[in-house]
Structure 1
């Protein structure tokens, strides 16, 4: 027989990471060694943060269909650790490979797993059982995949419908469940939550509460009569609960939604937003708020972008008995997990609750076939920030104020419904062919991963720093007032035709500057009244910021009185550097000496630099440039920005003083 040899390495090895699972696919080797008994072995190594110091993955990792002697060219590896570097080798093996194994028989790939929810709790113990309560305890999930923030205990009577459950939350690994019925079997489930969200509920664990205490029986009471009495009490209790439930509004909402219904009764005529994540079954929220569309009614024409979950396309929708319309179509990419499907459709559950001319309209969803789709109205001019940059300088001030008024009207509607957007920015405003602006992107529940420069990581996720209020950055305190702060940034974006807020400052410098009282200066040719409204939106105390209803009224007044929009600030060139405008009282008298001015802005460390270079008067300082400051030894970009912004404020105030001087 002819001589044979080991095969060459597999070709085109690719990986796909899905939370803590990895799918590998490859092509057959270019050279099989002249044999037909070709198989594949997979080697898994867990590596340190730098990709070095690797060690075998060991037990606990699962391979589908198997790890060794694979005859297929794909494998799924599950039960990996979150946020961990792994290196996978795929070896091509034939009958003579053991005689001459070599590294040229293997292909390798290195990946990093994603954040993932914790694994299920595996066992629950009843530490103490009484007539009306159970004390439970459990162990931490085998794979917490992060810091456990809280546990959720779901329980219900065994003979009752599971939908009639109750929920208890606790930060510890134990819970005292009270208010139970005697001599009744209860079913308990526990799940854990990390920053990535809730894991799956545990398998059901069943415990029975105790009967009536023995002393009563020992006192000669008829046990049969006693049992009938207990059963009768339980029946009466169940009848009472049934009457109570039927008497309430018939719905399958979770308790959170029932609470919101009660709030509606307290505020008649006002619709209250219902968070779809409060539903035990997220599909119920989709059915409640989004119309199912038959896929045959949709014609996809072209891809117009890439979203977080898949492609965004334009196309046409033709419903029976209605005219054909243009639509935007968000698709869910193949290979999704149930959590990704839930997160994807949650945006439709949110959008479907809104009905306003300045909020993007949901046409419906496709969930009964693949791909899963969200269908919305089509906005021809795309996102507002890109639209403004493309049309720099082409609109009148009244047109720009009209754009702002539409956005404010949409946000007033959301605020009235008790909905907090949390990601209001020009990039999330869409513009149609009639220049009508509509608020979109209701998926802030997702983690913002796509733009690391525009997001600042906190323990609870990522936040778009340049658009976010200080209290939301520091404490994750998101309210309509924090949306008002973001609206002020959107105003600045509109009046500057899509310029980037705070220019090229780092996120940390932006946070520091805001804390020190600095605010964005008026864009070129921006009316004073509009910039003052921006400053009102940027009040440090959220209670002092205007409501969206007040903003709409203010913009209406400006539109009705165009003369109020003619007065602009000092005619200064639009800065190319990150100039910020001081808003604190320490700048009220800018015409003192340079030493006092540097002290007032906490930059006295550079007093000698200014003196040695001859900058001893405010008149000399106000015309400095970044190059001048670098030349005199101020190297810090953040300090340059701070000094320039203060100097700019002095220049503006000097010009205002000169304007008020009466010639003799």
Structure 2
């Protein structure tokens, strides 16, 4: 509201209506503008005379300002008894324009007093200075002369005079607001302050964004009550990918053509990397040229590369059912350093057509691997005899999978028929030999033979796969080799084989040989029957020893320390693995004997998988080596889905290693603490069921764990819990104020999981493991909380002896009631 802009009657209400003292007239303000003025002069009366404005809508403002411009006569110049030089300002809140001449009642309650206004400049009768007064009152920002926060949709202002001689020149009601602002790549709208200091929220300017982690925290800035922005904005906005700072912090401009900007932030645009380009302004990346690619793992500013060329100079050497394949590096690596190779195998039919060469089956094995090769040599075994193969070696790098064309490759044909020499007939002076015919087209064969190994060879040619050698010595032993010739020339000779001619009376030796063979077969049969009977009796005795009450049989655990040579237990229960099959990637912890690592195991014919590797640190004694490997001798006897699986051991090289399956989520206690409250009770019970199944299996095998605790339970990616830590036997430390179990190497184990009889009498049984399992149940349901909290070990022993038991965990479900 602003009466300075009004030119007609303001239609304000006066009280009392029967004696109106406020007069509305037209006059001039200080700037000689025509305004509507309300005047009153009652210095002879102390009565209250009221003047009320029309209803003023509040809108969105919570703080209003009332600016009053007025003049006031000096009482001393009037010389009146009841004259005053002040007047009162009231307000009345109302949801609508509902006031009348009599309502609300003309008194301080329901009207609220805003202020008592005094003049700074007074006028004298008969002349003098004619300066007007200007007072600005704040309404709704808190308790100010009785005023409180504004709540209704609008209000009335009322002026009360009690003997003043004054004139209201203009009355203006307004609120302040912070203007629109752009700063720190953020835009803040026009903001009405709702308190003394208002935190306004903004948005990022065009082509600016917040980091992904800041999406829930938009830009903000303080809007003061006086309508002025305060301080600097809190903003994480920055130019988006493809845009850079446009010379100030309020504008982001697009990267020009052939330039790009991969990420958001203050950085500038950069030229496109090699073999890429962009013609569109505002690009976050540059497209690769045709035939070039950028791998998913490559950063956006990496140069575009292409697949490598084919490997060169493939060389194969066949030895019966195995093959050695070597090759040279391709001429062009494609601009990348991650060059690998893959070997493909095809088994061809007798027609030799490409369409009749299907891929080899799983019986063909590769060392070190079939794919992902970084060396240029591979050994292949498991080939069929007398067969033709095509081996293809492909060159690959990080962008080969993105190329629409097949990887560049080289091929070699291999035949395993060279070892097919066999004797078809023999006499005193001749040998008839034959061999398997090659499946690829052959022009002819060349056979060579000699009487003694290393002597001069004699050669024969044949168009068929058999030949007759004549004029030989009687009873002579001859070495023979054969090779085939095709359009490319001769292939390599087959492995030498020895054949003998017969002696005089060749028929009789045959009969004698048959009789001797029959006698040998009869003797073998008798020995076999004897062994079978003996083994049946042994098996029957073993079954009777391991027979359970339920009628089931099960293997019994064998303590490796009962062996005279503990290394024999390792050889019997643990598989020896070649060190070349294992690749250690990172250290994930430390054990009693050395480091614990994560690595990869690739056994021939098996898929590569992750394993956990325990290593024996250098400088170990023979006893430490034996104790270290004893855990493998124990684990190797167990096969259960809830028992950690032993992959094998490496004892023939340094460092000595134990390989087990890799459990992604680590120890159960730390896993639960990191995921506190994240699982339903049934999921926790499912973990406990798995642990119980593993412990029942151990109990059925007559194995006592002795150290069952959540720290010795491992969790895989599917939340399957498996019992682990089958280390050294432990004994009770004597003469100690804090009894603990101590291994032979001095490693202390807390007794919080140990049964009372095991503490008192060192009596470990499946029942004591059952006590430990109860503590594990408490650990799981309390998400890895420490049993007995901060009580000392001696306090724990004393409390248990006094029948104290752990209370239910705070997250455990209530007990069932019948």
**How would you bin the TM-score normalised by the shorter chain?**
0.3 to 0.5
- The structure with the greater share of residues assigned to strand is 2
TM-score, scaled relative to structure 1: 0.40
Larger radius of gyration between Structure 1 and Structure 2? 2
TM-score, scaled relative to structure 2: 0.32
* Higher RCO structure, 1 or 2 (CA under 8 Å, sep 6+): 1
